[in-house]
Amino acid sequence: MKLQRAAFALIVVILSFYVLYVGQNLLLPLVIAGAIAYLISILAHGIGAIKISGIGVPRPLAMIIAICVILLGIGFIINLITVNIASVVRVAPEYQENLEALIYKSYKTFGIEEVPNLQEFINQIDLRGYLQDFGRTVRALVSNTGIIIVYLIFLLLEQRTFADKIRAMVAGPQQQKDAFDLINKMRSDIRTYVAIKVLTSATTGLLSYLVLSLVGVDFASFWAVLIFLLNFIPTIGSIIATAFPSLLTLVQFDTLGPFIVTISVLGTIQFCIGSLIEPKLMGNRLNLSPIVILLSLGLWGSIWGIAGMFLCVPITVIMMIIFSYFPGTRPIAVLLSGDGKVARGIPEEKVTEEAV
């Protein structure tokens, strides 16, 4: 019986990922709209929690402010990327030539005349191609703006009827109360994770922008936005975010000084925020196993491309948080975690249904 259940679960998982791959043109805008809706909800919750002389912002007004802020912020980021991506692609071949010359120069410095397979390695470094792929992803998202906005409107409207649906699905006052307590606890954990991740990533991007501007690195604003996005991918993202602008200094400047300063300061910022501050704020909400991060990156990247790579870890963390609250799926959350310690239990404090 257990074997049949496991086989059935495996078939469901395989079919689910097949549907995600085949229906990516339909589902990816929906997932992006859901992420935007959740960011709006988090910001509206934060605005509503601000009270001056005991008077807070009404929830409808907080939602309007949050929608305007999030949409303007996303528009600013997309515009910044699309404006800079063409310039970066234009100079990418020059940077690649400089990088090739630097590699040959380094080998000659160490007395190596013939470098095995170096040309094959260089041919695989297609900076322009990578940047063009990233640009195509951004343009594809922009072209889907209409459908994303439609999804977003319906998702925001759907929030008003969510509590009524739970009451209709669950019979009995005590069962309804337990369901609302569980949903509110999971929502609180997810909201805290997303809010902290956005805050730490934005802080890292801003500090990186200041460093890159002071050093004089080309397209500092573009790299800062890229660093902000890459920091949603733990460990791997921070390494790439540090390596890209640091390597740029090698091909942009004639001396090693800017490279040493850039990689040292950016590395220190990434370490302090990613390894010291963020774990303190996150607790066990970002307790993913490194191998799970790599597998998730490869899996979602193969399904949804670059967009899937940026979304993979937040999706996996949210799945782990949800799985941890149900006895049947808790073992999956333990397997996904780094040390087996995952959130559990319903909060002792009573949460009102209005929070749902």
Q: What is the DSSP string of 210-265?
A: HHHHHHT-TTHHHHHHHHHHHTTSTTHHHHHHHHHHHHHHHHH-SSSHHHHHHHHH
For range 290-307, the mean pLDDT? 80
The pLDDT, as a whole number, for residue 351 is 39
Least confident of 83-87, 262-266, 294-298: 83-87
The pLDDT, as a whole number, for residue 207 is 93
Instruction: Label residue 354 exposed, middle or buried (CB < 10 Å: 0-12, 13-18, 19+).
Output: exposed
Which region, left, alpha or beta, applies to residue 217 given φ > 0 means left and ψ of -120 to 50 means alpha? beta
The pLDDT, as a whole number, for residue 289 is 75
Own/partner pairs for 184-190, CB < 8 Å, 24+ apart? 184/347, 184/351, 184/355, 184/356, 185/325, 185/345, 185/346, 185/347, 185/351, 186/321, 186/322, 186/325, 187/355, 187/356, 188/347, 188/351, 189/285, 189/321, 189/343, 190/38, 190/318, 190/321
Select the more confidently predicted residue: 173 or 235.
173
Whole-prediction pTM = 0.72
- Average pLDDT over the chain, rounded to an integer: 77
Confidence category of residue 107, pLDDT binned at 50, 70, 90: low
Question: Coil, strand, or helix at residue 341?
Answer: coil
